[in-house]
Structure 1
Amino acid sequence: MSVDASQFKNALKLWASGVTVVTAQSEQQGLKGMTATSFSSVSVDPPQVLVCLNQNTDTGTVVLEQKQFAVNILGAEQRDVSNQFAGGSTQEERFANVGWEVGENGAPLLTESLASLECKVVDQVLAGTHWIVIGEVQKVICRSGEPLLYYSGAYRELTQA
């Protein structure tokens, strides 16, 4: 028995997640960035994370070519940033209204994100339409604030009990 795409998507809508923007840069292709909710820690020792990137994206192409990237964990006030990097705009437009700086590994770091993790690609696995990219975290910058959450097709906020 196979699961159709709509059933699969409906089930995954029930998984709440944080929102990130994965960024990379190359001399030939310039700045690249995309919104990604498929992000997870992998290991503490060594510190590793994974992101899942559609193999047809220009951001994914640059990440795999450069073997360097950053994961920027978005804060609750960054819904517009998430939407801006989600598609429909050019890479130039994505970075135009966002504060950023170049990290030590060359990847853009969004200066208003909750955290920025600079990573070196240590492994990649093609799974269906996406690359599972494992990165060893080389540097971390943490800032204060509440996370941007995504659940059932909409942004959500934390509530205090």
Structure 2
Amino acid sequence: MHTISPRSPTREFDDAQFRQALSQFATGVTVITTRLADGSFLGLTASSFNSVSIDPPLVLWSLSNQATSMPVFSANSHYVINVLGAGQHQLAEQFSRRVENRFDGVDFELSSTGHPILKGVSAWFECHNRSRYPEGDHVIFVGEVECCDVHPQRALVFHDGRFVATTVGQP
């Protein structure tokens, strides 16, 4: 059941202060990929990834209502969440740019359902597009994990407006 509490009557901060406060929370970096009906691929960088449940295996991520990829991710049955490693900041930047083909020069393989899994990632999750929840200026996507794999390495995180490699984890 999706319940909404009444909105707070006042807030004592502006959007810039809110963004600055959020930037102090380091998040992992992912690239969400999917296949379009014409066989081409779509991908985008997202740092709004989190686990939801072990049983069933559920994860979530969010996408801006203004994103041009919203219709594709809302309609597609599957997508892959690629968790980037410390040395993959260039991939994060490439998939966040407004370019015609974000996959240009990117090494990837296809999952069993034909969706791109980026090479060298620390983990990936192939998900069935289980549900979507509009909230504020974003939509929260909940994916049921059908397949996943892990390749432990140091993580790439987003903190204070920039990509940073962690110093802990596998060398």
- Report the TM-score, using the length of structure 1 for normalisation: 0.91
CA contact under 8 A between 2:32 and 2:45: conserved in structure 1?
yes
- The aligned amino acid for 1:99 is D
How many correspondences in the alignment? 158
CA offset digits 1:88-116 (Å, max 9, x no partner): 322x1x10121112212332110221111
Aligned equivalents of 1:20, 1:95: Cα separation in 2: 15
Question: 2:121 is paired with a residue of what secondary structure?
Answer: coil
Q: Does 1:36 pair with 2:83?
A: no
Tell me, which stretches of 5 or more residues in structure 2 are unaligned?
Answer: 1-9
Q: CA RMSD in A?
A: 1.5
**C-alpha distance in 2, partners of 1:8/1:67?**
34
Q: Which residue of 2 aligns with 1:116?
A: 124
Match of 1:150 in 2: 158
Q: Which residue of 1 is the match for residue 3 of structure 2?
A: none
Please state how far the C-alpha of 1:30 moved relative to its aligned partner. 2.5
The whole-number CA distance in structure 2 between the counterparts of 1:133 and 1:28 is 23
SS in 1 for 2:75: helix
Give the AA of the match of 1:19. Answer: V
After superposition, the C-alpha distances for 1:133-158 in whole angstroms (9 at most, x for unaligned) are 00000000211321101111122232
Between the aligned partners of 1:55 and 1:109, the Cα distance in structure 2 is: 25
Q: Identity of paired residues, percent?
A: 33
**Cα 1:112/1:59, change in 2 over 3 Å:** farther
136-145 vs 26-35, greater mean Cα deviation: 26-35
* Whole-angstrom distance in 2 between the partners of 1:76 and 1:136: 26
1:50 equivalent among 60, 67, 78: 60
Whether 1:62 aligns to 2:72 is: yes
What residue is the counterpart of 2:106 in the other structure?
98
Q: How far apart, in 2, do the equivalents of 1:105 and 1:119 lie?
A: 10
2-side partners of 1:149 and 1:128: how far apart?
25
Structure 1 ranges of 4+ moved more than 3 A:
none
Give the TM-score, by structure 2 length. 0.86
Structure 1 or 2: more helix by fraction: 1
Please tell me whether the aligned partners of residues 87 and 165 of structure 2 are also in contact (alpha carbons under 8 angstroms): no
SS of residue paired to 2:24: coil
Q: Report if the CA contact (8 A) 2:84-2:156 is conserved.
A: yes
Which stretch of structure 1 is more off in the superposition, 65-74 or 23-32? 23-32
CA 60–101 in structure 1, closer or farther in 2 if over 3 Å, else same: farther
